[in-house]
Structure formats: structure tokens, C-alpha cells
Chains A and B, each alone.
Chain A
């Protein structure tokens, strides 16, 4: 016979009340675990998508001229008389400290060509890198092989070309292997071909006009990477497209804050449930506590009984709450994610955190009822002596 026996027996006797406290805490803990696991999985999902989002660092030749265009509107004659970057130099980008953060590196060579009296911008790209750099591209037809091109939607319309048509650019016969579905970007106006083909046409072998780097991920130190690339490519101008990263990260951070705020409110409600139920339980047990005190239980013994009861229920609530929350996050992700994977990574810290949080909540919420119980005057509690 120990104080633990009293606690356990009391919980078993008051199954309804114990169940109510358990339910209150389970709801609180499972909601928090669910939200946290959901946020974690969503963060991973968003990061994964951001990594695939496209280029966020541009490498362009350094120039002393000011751009004469604004918002896509060109003012006056804009020349393409700019220096080129040597393709070989681009390999240095892979040597920077944060090279593991580079998802894709896409060289690009640009030039103006004439097709049936139309002046068109032609770009030579690395189509393998383009899969990551331009995930919004959907090609009708096939990705071009050597001496093949794909056309932007607008370019195809204006030039009145379709898949299988042949065009001649600077005496080189090229076959249209595909047409890009409209992207709403400048890409709609261009003709794309393989890098080598374009370099041959423009007579720019081993040279590129610019390069795009995809380095979008949660922990990417974009500014540091820009500096590192600038250091290895002193002749180039390296720019970060920070707005994309920042806006997405801010959205995620706001979502996290909101989720944690909701979690806090739910936990507070859970604590109040424990507090109110425990207070009720203490009031109901006035006689019993009076007996305990009359036969020599110290205040500490009474508090220990109450805290033990709270620990048993809240510990159990922590374990049950974790599994329910984890399951709920999986189910929610299954419904809301595009690929319906429902994958939620198991995090030991979250499991331990759930149990510790539940225990802390249970104990803190029981502190006042336990204090009140321990202060009961045995004489008044019994009223028989």
C-alpha cells in the first residue's frame, strides 16, 4: 500500500472524471501534434517544391550600360552588344562552399535570328537543367535533339509553325520538334534549341550569354551563395531573385505562427479542463482528504496523490494524443497534398515533446487543486470530530 495505490484506485473509481481529463488533454495534445506534424510535412513539401520552383540566382555578364527597358517595355534601340561568359568558367560554380545547395545550373546563349522576315530571339539551353529551372514548361511534341527546335506559343502563332515544320536559320535547317504551351512569360516569344546548336548558329562556341541557378531550399544562404559565385566568377554579375524566396518563407513563417497560436489556445483550453475537473474532484474528495490528514498524511502526501493522478492521466494523454495527432496529420496530408503521399516523418523529439508537454500541462493545471487539497483543515473536512 503506497500513495500510488491510492492514486490509481481513485482514478479507476472515477473513470468518468479521469476520462474527461484524458479526453481534454488528448484533444489538446493531438491537435498540437497534428498541427506541428502537418506544418513540418508542409514545410518539407513547400521546400521540395521551392527547390523545383526554378532559378533564383542569375549569372549575367558584367556590363557598364544601363538597361533601357522598364516593365517589359523597351525604350529605344537596345543592343545585345554584351560580353559573353566562357562556358568553362561556369564549372567553377560547382566548386563553391555551398555547392550542395545548387539544384540546377543552366547555361543559356541568346541571339537574334530571322525566320521568314520575322526577327526572333533564339535561346540555346540545357534541357536537362531546364527541367528543374523551368518546371512550368510543358512541351507539346518532343524535347529537341540536335538541329531541332521548340517554339514558344506566341512564336509558333506569329511564325505560323507547327510540329514537324522546317525552318532555316543562318543556312541551318532545323526541325520544329515541339511547341511550348503558353507560360505567360517571355518564353512564349522565343525559339529554343540545344545549347550546342545555338552556339554553332551564333558562332559562339564555348560561350554563354547568362546562366540560371536553382538554389531554392529552406536553409540556402542565398546572399552567401551569391558572394561565393561572384568570387569564382569575377567577370560576371551575380544577382539573387530574393523576393520569391522571401515571400514564400514569410508565408510559411506566418502559417507557422498562426498554427502555434492556435495550438497555444487549444492547450490553454485543455489546461482549463484539467484545472476545473481537478478542482471538482478535490471538492468531492473533501471527506477523504480529511481522513488522510487526520491519520497523519502531510500536505506533501496529499499533493503527491493529486500530482500522481495528474501525471498518470496526462502521460497517457501525451502518448495517445501523439498517435492520434500523427494519424490526423497523415490523413490530412493525404487529402490536401497533390501527390496524396500522406508522408509525415516520424520525429522522436515531437513524440517526447508531446508526452512532456502533456505532463507539464497536467501538473501545472493540477498545482492549484493540489495546493487547495493540501490546505484542507482535517477538522473542518471531517466535521465529525
Chain B
């Protein structure tokens, strides 16, 4: 049975003649336990789509069901409860709270649940162990590496054991080796039964997903894309000249700076 169902999702910004369509009628279904990668160029609408799945960005029209709950029929506060109960978020640039230690950041979602201090601690330590962060509990985000920050962000997202994990470019700020480790971690979480939806630019990272959706100009152009065609697309993207003619590039390069 489908766990996430998007039905004719549309998201538009602006009004009248200035309307910009971010999501242009998208339909899909995601099964429980799936690992879905959403790929697309910058501005294609993939992050908007993830935000909609995260109960944070209401569609202009259409509906989105998660665990049979029409999340945009809920009020704002109920949507907050829904996010707490059903979703874990891994943000693009970690978004850790700078003045809280590693373990406090991980325990953040537990701050508003009714549980004893000891139980919260056990849950946080379990999440830390799961992402391989033992021994760093009392460090501040500024005292750990980028890979470790990403692990903290993942531990925070999974600490209250949500059924769905949404990740926005989880390796966007990491080197190749660390990216590989993080993707292994997400893969393992998926193996343990967690439904994961990940937005990524990288075909290498998308390769860890069991299903890949490609979004272009707010439209779902491919669902369950084969990895080979993804690599081809990546190559094509890489070969694109950033500036079609050289004189334009030079002109930009000669612009005064500062």
C-alpha cells in the first residue's frame, strides 16, 4: 500500500501575470520502506516538492497524503504535530543549533515530548551510535567536521524514530569520501525499514536510492530512472558551457569586484 501519495500537486508563486509555476501537476506514490531519490537541475522544483512532502509548503492545488493523512487538510499546529510524529528532516546545510552541544542538538525533537530525562538520553545515545558519533556528545557544532555535522543532523532526524526521513541534498557540502559514508548510513537506515526521500544533484548519491524520480521545470519527467541514463544526463550537464559564448564569460569576468 502506498505510504505517500501526491495527487495533482501544483505550486504557484505570485499572482496574475507574474505567476511562476514551481510544481506543475505532479502525481506519484511512494511505498512504505522505499528509498526515493529526487533529481533535477537547480530551480527545477525538487526542493519545493520535498518541502510539500514535509508539511511545510502548502500546494496551490492538489493533495498530499502521508499514511492516509491528507496533510494539507490539517491546521498549522496539527501539521507541526504531524512533522514531529511522522517526519525526520535532514537539511541542506545541516541547520544545527550553534549553541547546543551535539547531544542537545540530537535531543531537540525530544524537548517537546513527554518523556523522562533518562529515556530521552537513552534515545539520543541510540541515535548517536546509529550514525557513528560516539564520543562527540558534548562538542559544539563548531568543534566537529562537516561529515560529523551531517551525522548529527541525521541523528536528530531519526531520534524519535519517524517512519519517513526527508533529506535535502544531504551530501551537498561534503567531500566524496564523506558523502559515500553518509549515503551508506542512509542506505542502512532504509534497510532497517525507514522510508527515505532524498533530493540530490549527484547521480552518485542518487545511485544509493532504490528509485529515482527526475523533475524538470516543475514536472515529473521520469520516475524510476535507470542509473545508466542518469550518468548520461550528468555527463551532459557537466559538458554544458556555463556561458554560451566566450565573450560573455570574459565580460562577466571583467566586472569590477568588491
Contact = CB atoms under 8 A, between A and B. Distances in A.
Interface string A265-295: 0000000000000000000000110111111
A126 B91 CA distance: 93
A10 interface: yes
B63 to A, nearest CB: 18
Interface string A292-314: 11111111110000000000000
B92 interface: yes
B84 interface: yes
A118 B57 CA distance: 108
A179 to B, nearest CB: 80
A12 interface: yes
A298 B83 contact: no
Contacts of B120: 1
Interface stretch (A84-92, A201-209, A377-385): A377-385
Given A297-B112, A385-B91, A1 B104 contact: yes
A337 to B, nearest CB: 49
A9 B99 contact: yes
Interface residues of B, number: 37
Interface of B, secondary structure class, is helix
Interface in A41-58: none
Contacts of A296: 80-85, 87, 109, 112
Given A6-B100, A6-B111, A296-B85, A382 B91 contact: yes
A13 B84 CA distance: 26
Contacts of B168: 384-385
A122 B97 CA distance: 91
Nearest to B96: A291
B109 A295 contact: yes
B62 to A, nearest CB: 17
Given A5-B111, A385-B91, A293 B99 contact: no
Interface of A: 1-3, 5-6, 9-10, 12-13, 287-288, 290-301, 377-379, 382, 384-385
Please provide the 4 A-B residue pairs with the shortest distance between their CB atoms, ordered closest to farther.
A296-B84, A13-B99, A1-B107, A385-B51
